[in-house]
Amino acid sequence: MVLHGKTAIEEVVLYHAGADVGQGAHTAFMQMAAEAVGVPLEKVRLIASDTAETGSAGSASASRLTFMAGNAIRGAAEKALAAWQAEDRPATGEFMYRPPKTTPYDPLAYGYVAQAVEVEVDLETGLVQLVQVICASDVGRAINPLLVQGQIEGAVVQAQGYALMEHILCKDGRVLNPYLSTYLIPTVLDAPAEVRSLILEYPDPIGPWGARGMAEMPFLPLTPAIAAAIHDATGIWLTSQPFTPDKVVKELRKHGLGVI
């Protein structure tokens, strides 16, 4: 991080290797840099993911990016501000964040999520329609609530595909359905009519401004929530996903439900 200016900070240049893969991470990086230095967002310029300038930050995976990047940004800002107070111009701060070792079920830095769903089951065809999803996610602190909501909604639809339709078929080492016409993914017509995103904020003591990662959390409970909703509607438990119509019909007929 480099602070430019004479008597006041006129520009903050943030060098960071963290990748934005559509989740809005770079926006969050700039917000955290502005907060750490104490300047408006418009004074922050991000140079991101340029290996000639920023090195490597590891992968954008494991819901780690906001937590790791935020702590690194905060550390760099502290060093840059110390240099600024020493009247270094421009003032530079570099910081590499390494998290403390964790043990199983360590209460720190874990995200938590719970989901409830409403489904409709066609007893004749076995088609399961996901109607409504309520997703409550404890994100520590939401750096950008709108981005968090977008990640929740996107994750729900992606998990819907995993739960209800995405079924890769292989035979003798060959994929039998390699095209989107045969390997189905959710479209806008398949998405739930409503996804309610309940963003809970219980700050993490070692997270940057209390934040913890959350991007992948909504994936995890959707399949069991859908299975429980199908059971509530029909009385049958499905134990193998995806819950495609052929599987659902087979179980319905086995239990004497639907058209025979």
Catalytic residue among 35, 78, 216, 251: 216
Active site residue 120: no
**Mind spelling out the 3-state secondary structure of the chain?**
CEEEECCCEEEEEEEECCCCCCCCHHHHHHHHHHHHHCCCHHHEEEEECCCCCCCCCCCCCCCCHHHHHHHHHHHHHHHHHHHHHCCCCCEECCCCCCCCCCCCCCCCCCCEEEEEEEEEECCCCCCEEEEEEEEEEECCCCCCHHHHHHHHHHHHHHHHHHHHCCCCCEECCEECCCCCCCCCCCCCCCCCCEEEEEEECCCCCCCHHHCCCCCCCCHHHHHHHHHHHHHHHHCCCCCCCCCCHHHHHHHHHHCCCCCC
Catalytic residues: 216
